[in-house]
Structure 1
Amino acid sequence: MDRIDNVNADLLDLLQTDGRMSNAKLAEHLSMSETPCWRRLKRLEESGIIEGYQANLNRRKLGLGVMAFVQLSCSEHDPDATAEFQRIIENTPSILACHNTTGADDFLLIVVARDLDDYSVFVDTTLRRLPGVTSIRSNLSLREMKSSNRLPIRPG
């Protein structure tokens, strides 16, 4: 699927607003019958544009009061160290995201923790043990001004 037409864009917008919306409701909002709506939805899923569905949870209500943006620099970039680094990152639930970045640091992580003591333990037991890490810099979020997983479907 190369192009997102207006109907698919509307469908994706609706699902980003309410991922539990039934096919009947989607079709109603799109002013189309259910079968073509269902086909469009299946094509979007099969093409990988829709990767899955999940509930958005409130981290603070789950006791995760600290969010940290962590910049890591590494000295080792050989395949074995990189594979081990990636395995640890992927298997650590408190790391929400990890990006290989340009600039002074090699990686940017988004990490959550219950509190500062919990985050301190995480740094000591996880981050400092990552293979090849030479520098760890943390920036703690003081106030979350915007948080969204919604992607812009149309330019602008």
Structure 2
Amino acid sequence: MSEIDAVNVQILTLLQEDGRMTNAKLAQRLGMSETPCWRRLKRLEESGIVEGYQANLNRRKLGLGVMAFVQLRCSEHDRDATSEFQRIVETTPNILSCHNTTGADDFLLIVVARDLDDYSAFVDNTLRCLPGVTSIRSNLSLKEMKASSKLPVSTPFVS
């Protein structure tokens, strides 16, 4: 799918608001019949623009009161070390996000933990064990002012 028109923008916007919206309700909100709406949604899914659906959970109500932004610097950048690093990051549930970045540090992670003791244990038992890590710097979130996974969608969009 190379172009997103105004109807697709509406579909994406509505689904970001309510990923459980039925096709019937989506079609109704768009003022179109169900079959063309379903086809558009399927094309958005098949093209990879819509990657999946998930519930948004409240981390604090699940007992995850600490959120840390962790900057890592690594000494090893060969294929094996990078593959092992990526494998560990991808399979560690406390790591919500990991980005390979420019600047002084190599990676920026978003990590959650129950409390400071739990975070300290996570640093000692997980982060310090990552291959090639030479520096770990943590910034703890004092107040989450905005948390969203909703992307700004507009038309025209050309990939």
Normalising by structure 2, we get a TM-score of 0.96
Alignment of 1:25-64 (within 5 A): 25-64=25-64
Q: d(CA) in 2 for partners of 1:64 and 1:154?
A: 34
Deviation at 1:82, TM superposition (A): 0.6
Deviation at 1:20, TM superposition (A): 0.4
2:3 partner SS: coil
Larger relative contact order (Cα-Cα within 8 Å, sequence gap ≥ 6):
2
Q: d(CA) in 1 for partners of 2:91 and 2:151?
A: 26
Deviation string 1:72-121 (CA, Å, 9 cap, x unpaired) is: 00000011111110110011000000000000100000000000000000
Unaligned runs of 5+ in 1: none
Q: What does residue 87 of structure 1 align with? A: 87
Deviation at 1:71, TM superposition (A): 0.1
- Residue 4 in 1 paired to residue 4 in 2? yes
Q: d(CA) in 2 for partners of 1:152 and 1:100?
A: 23
Give the length in aligned residue pairs.
155
The letter for the 2-side match of 1:64 is L
Q: d(CA) in 2 for partners of 1:114 and 1:99?
A: 23
Unaligned runs of 5+ in 2: none
- Residue 105 in 1 paired to residue 105 in 2? yes
Q: What does residue 22 of structure 1 align with? A: 22
The letter for the 2-side match of 1:32 is M
The letter for the 2-side match of 1:8 is N
Q: d(CA) in 2 for partners of 1:23 and 1:78?
A: 47
Percent of counterpart pairs with the same letter? 81
The letter for the 1-side match of 2:125 is T
Q: d(CA) in 1 for partners of 2:61 and 2:135?
A: 32
Runs of 4+ in 1 over 3 A off after TM superposition: none
